[in-house]
Amino acid sequence: MSKPTPDQASQETARLVLRMDAAISAFRAGLRSGVQALDSAGPIVSHDSLASSSSGRMSVSGMGLAERRVPRRPNKVELAILTALADTYGAEMLTNSSLGYVLRVFARGGGVALVQRLLFGESASDQQLSMMLTAARIALTQISTVFPDVFFADANAVIAGFRPRPPAGFST
């Protein structure tokens, strides 16, 4: 069998991203997604319960992260993440049970939270997630540098608290 051309590969990636986008959107809306890994994830949750459960504080490196709202449909940052996953793993994203776990994490908590866990997480489950997605780590790191305001907003807020302040009564 011949190797696919770059154009064929990009078309396949686009099809996979569209399929994952539709499945994640359906899952977030509380509907059947048509993807076994999402549909077998237990009870289907509504968008409101997703927003309330994922908008809580998540700890990475012991620091609370700002409240985050998971979009009903994947946004441009999440689509970039899905593209990186589709480029790396291909159709396995829809059929492999381990990668199905990744889709569930993505659908429930959002793509940004998934990548933050992968890159900065310290818990055992974060380390396991990082090992599962080792092949996509470079691509996901690059995405985090393209959208620093999204991935590092929480870090910037924490860093601001450590910046020196002018002495009281100081005027310029």
Residue 25 · residue 72 · CB < 8 Å: yes
- How does pLDDT run across 147-162, given as a tens digit for each residue? 998 888 877 777 777 7
- How does pLDDT run across 56-77, given as a tens digit for each residue? 334 443 334 445 678 788 899 9
CA–CA distances in Å: residue 113 to residues 2, 49, 107, 129, 150:
38, 17, 10, 12, 10
In the chain, where are the structural domains located?
Answer: 6-58+69-151
Q: What is the mean pLDDT of residues 76-93?
A: 95
| Phi (first) and psi of residue 104, to 5 degrees | -65, -45
Which of 28, 118, 153, 24 is CA-nearest to residue 79?
24
Q: What is the mean pLDDT of residues 96-109?
A: 91
Residue 36 · residue 100 · CB < 8 Å: yes
